Each structure stands twice: as structure tokens, then as C-alpha cells.
Amino acid sequence: SHRREIVVVFCDLRGYTAFTETAEPEEVLEFLREYHGALGPLVAQFEGTLDQFSGDGIMVFFNDPIPCPDPAERAVKMAVAMREAAGALIAKWRRRGRELGFGAGIAQGYATLGQIGFTDRSGYTAIGTVCNLAARLCAEAKDGQILVAQRVAVAVEETTVLEEMGALALKGLTQPVLAFNVPIPDDSAT
């Protein structure tokens, strides 16, 4: 194992639990295949490291195992691309009467990285407060929001439009966290 500064992205769906309670398992599996099929390739496109797919939740990190010069920018661009890809699927599923939405959280900080598991099944993962912060920001995000922590905001402020959300009290964290949203572009202004 080793320690490195990384940027972590967590994303998941709003309304997924309610969807799984009323849908047949085959319908849930069909949706997850479409969702993972649309979002998974974006991880490679932006050179992230996929930590896990867990139901509707996806965790990706940047700057390890291969360092990159702009991990925060890549993370934000990937999350925006994921929001767009998920949006197309969500629109299709809403026409079928399924109310789903997409949210993400992004944080930057130090983590310990390495293999976990056992002989027959192991995986490369990141462990640390940065992962928890990204997950908590994701949980706080409303449909369409990509909430980023202050360190990410500072890293991307020259290239990304941000809306300050103020200090958020996030579950499991003792101190409020200053957060910013990456808004959906207003196409009507063009």
C-alpha cells in the first residue's frame, strides 16, 4: 500500500431504492446494464481508476495508480459527462414511469491505496477521509447536482463554472464543508 493525493468521484441515482422496490428484478438489471454501459466507458476516457460499481453507485478516483497533472479537472469533466449520459437514460426511463435522477460528489485529499480482498478475489481501492467526503457530498446532491469540495473548486475555478452552496452539514462529518455545484449549462443563453 501507499499514500497519495487523489480526487474521488462518487455518483449514484436519486430514486433508485424506490425504483427497485416497485420494479421487477429483470427490469432493474436491464436498467443497471444500460446505466453502467453508458457511464463505465467514461472512466477510461478520462483516465480514472474504477474502484467499484455497487448497484447504482460508482466510485472513481484520479491520480493513482498512474499520476496525472490535472486530476480535479478530469474528475469534474468526467462527472459532467456522466451527468449528460445518465440524463439521456433517465429521460427514457421517466417515459416508462420511473422517476430517477443523478447526483455526484467530488473531493480531493490524501488516501491510502492498495489491494484488498483474498486469494480468489481482490481489488485495488482507496481508503481515507477523502473517499468519505466525496460519498457524503454525493448523498447531499440533488438531482442534476455535482457537488465539489473546496479543494476541487479551487483546482478547477479557472475552467469550470461553479455555484457556491455554502457550508453544508454532512452526515458523519463533525465540521461543515464548504461546497460548490457544477451547474447544468443554461442552453437558453446561447
Quote the DSSP letter at residue 187. Answer: G
pLDDT tens string 105-145: 999 999 999 999 998 988 899 999 999 999 999 999 999 99
Tell me the per-residue pLDDT of 54-110, one tens digit each, with 9 for 90 and over. 889 999 999 999 999 999 999 999 999 999 999 999 999 989 888 999 999 999 999
Check residue 54 and give its pLDDT: 87
Dist. CA 190–CA 187, nearest whole Å: 6
pTM to 2 decimals? 0.94
In one letter, which amino acid is 48? Answer: G
Is-contact 46 81, C-beta < 8 A?
A: yes
**Which domains occur in the chain, in start order?**
2-114+123-185 (3.30.70.1230)
CA 49 remoteness from chain centre: 12
